[in-house]
Amino acid sequence: MPVSRDLGPMAAPKPAFWTRSRIRSVLVQFGFVVLLVLLIQFLLANTMQNLARQGIASGFGFLENRAGFDIAIAFLDFDRNGTYLDAFWTAIVNTLVLATLGIALATLLGFMIGLARVSPNWLISRLAAVYIETFRNIPLLLQLFFWYFAILRPLPGPRQSFDVAGTVFLSNRGLYMPKPLLDSGAQLALLALVVGLIFALFMARSARRHRAATGNSVAVAHWWLIGLVGLPVLTWFATGASVEMSIPSLQGFNFRGGMVILPEMLAALLGLSIYIAAAVGEIVRSGIQGIDHGQTEAAQAMGHTRGQIMRYVVIPQAMRIIIPPLTTQYQSLAKNTSLASAIAFPEIISIIAGTTLTQTGQAMETIALAMLFYLTVSLFIAAVMNFFNWRVMRRSF
């Protein structure tokens, strides 16, 4: 039977070019982008027109004006004579400090809870489960109020504050502690300590590598001694450094001098990290349980202890499962710092979308700044976590 390879007459007539799938999808997408741009342009123009018609001020010129209000917690120097832009920076730093400390604490606590959750000890694993179910299922705002008033109510006023040796004071005004005032020599010595630590870490790492490559161990104790003690002490005496302590003392209504952790800061930090730690705990548990049991059995067969199995076999593999959902939790912690404005922690919402908004009345601009900030922070967290994820994935097992 002759087999015709000529499919010519059978082939469908060549379709019109706009119905070809690739061209069509390009056309549709192009059309969509044009529509989107037009829509955004229309929204902006319409908004500007309405603002102008009602005589409402717009633009970011207000950022140069004098703010005229004070901020209790400021990691940057800020006072009422600063501009709204200075207030914005102060709010950014406050928010970032809270988010960073919160993430660190939530991670630490979350890993402990996660490990406890998979513990063979019935009591420990139950307690971890109770922790997770309690804190995960109560709205964060309520938890923040709970911590805030749980901290405030039992504490006495500043005149009846608890004190430790007349130097550390705890009252409902906050925890006041002595603050070391470093002169230039002491600052140099501190710097030397950091340099020494990095140096010692570097030496320890190269020693580990040497041992991994050759099997011969190299002594590193003396490097640690030089890095952590020798260098800083030498700098200290070479510069004749001295440290004075600023000790808080009660003057008038409140303590002056020293440094302080305000109740708002403490409550915000506790509330955020305890809440997110519950979610982190579940992520860690699922990561650990997601590792095939065969891995553990194989490691057991090789005579590893339980701790070793966790540390060298399970956790490194579990990290692949843990990191992606962890990113989401970190982002949500960073965004949830906005709730801390309810308990008077001066962050972006309180300073920018609160005080600045009402004082200047420029709702669009201030809300846009706040949105830009949260977007930047979230994308930054995603970028950092993606980098870690990439490093974990790169390791092959």
Partner 1 sequence: MKIYPILTTAAALAVAAGGAVSAQTLEEVRERGHLNCGVSPGVTGFSNPDDEGNWSGFDVEVCRAVAAAVLEDADAVRYTPLSNTERFTALQSGEIDMLSRTTTRTLNRDTALGLNFAPVMFYDGQGFMVRQDMGVSSVLELDGATVCTSAGSTTELNLADYFEANGMSYEPVRFDRADEVLAAYDAGRCDVYTSDRSGLAARRLVMTNPAEHVMLPETISKEPLAPAVRHGDDQWFDIVTWTVYALIEAEEYGVTQGNVDEMANSENPNIARMLGAEGSPVGEWIGLDNKWVHRAIAAVGNYGEIFERHVGPNTPLEIERGMNALHTNGGLQYAMPFK
Interface residues toward partner 1, by CB under 8 A = 28, 32, 35-36, 39, 42-43, 46-47, 49-51, 53-57, 68-72, 80, 145, 148-149, 152-153, 155, 157, 172-173, 251-254, 256, 263-264, 341-344, 346, 349-350, 353-355, 357-363
CB-nearer residue toward partner 1: 54 or 137: 54
Provide, rounded to whole angstroms, the least separation between the CB of residue 32 and partner 1: 6
CB-nearer residue toward partner 1: 152 or 225: 152
CB-nearer residue toward partner 1: 203 or 344: 344
In angstroms, the Cα distances linking 392 to 17, 288, 320, 389 are 46, 15, 6, 5
Provide, rounded to whole angstroms, the least separation between the CB of residue 62 and partner 1: 9
CB-nearer residue toward partner 1: 171 or 329: 171
Quick one: 42 exposed, middle or buried, by C-beta within 10 A (0-12, 13-18, 19+)? exposed
Provide, rounded to whole angstroms, the least separation between the CB of residue 80 and partner 1: 4
Provide, rounded to whole angstroms, the least separation between the CB of residue 354 and partner 1: 4
Tell me the C-alpha distance between 111 and 314, whole Å: 14
Provide, rounded to whole angstroms, the least separation between the CB of residue 356 and partner 1: 9
Question: Cα(first)–Cα(last) distance of the chain, in Å?
Answer: 57
370-379 long-range Cβ contacts below 8 angstroms, 24+ apart: 373/92, 373/95, 373/348, 374/334, 374/335, 374/338, 374/348, 377/95, 377/96, 377/99, 377/331, 377/334, 377/335, 378/331, 378/334, 378/335
Tokens of 7: 């499919």
CB-nearer residue toward partner 1: 152 or 372: 152
Residue 261 contacts residue 207 (beta carbons within 8 Å): no
Tokens of 136: 């995960």
Provide, rounded to whole angstroms, the least separation between the CB of residue 68 and partner 1: 5
CB-nearer residue toward partner 1: 49 or 206: 49
The helix (H) or strand (E) run that includes residue 24 is helix 21-53
Provide, rounded to whole angstroms, the least separation between the CB of residue 70 and partner 1: 5
Q: What is the CA radius of gyration of the chain?
A: 30
Name residue, tokens 């570097």: 202
Q: What angle do CA 280, 285, 287 make, to 5 degrees?
A: 95
CB-nearer residue toward partner 1: 241 or 353: 353
Provide, rounded to whole angstroms, the least separation between the CB of residue 267 and partner 1: 11
In angstroms, the Cα distances linking 263 to 58, 151, 269 are 37, 7, 10
CB-nearer residue toward partner 1: 54 or 216: 54
Q: Indicate the length of the chain as a whole number.
A: 397
CB-nearer residue toward partner 1: 150 or 245: 150
**At residue 171, what are phi and psi to the nearest 5 degrees?**
-150, 180
Provide, rounded to whole angstroms, the least separation between the CB of residue 88 and partner 1: 15
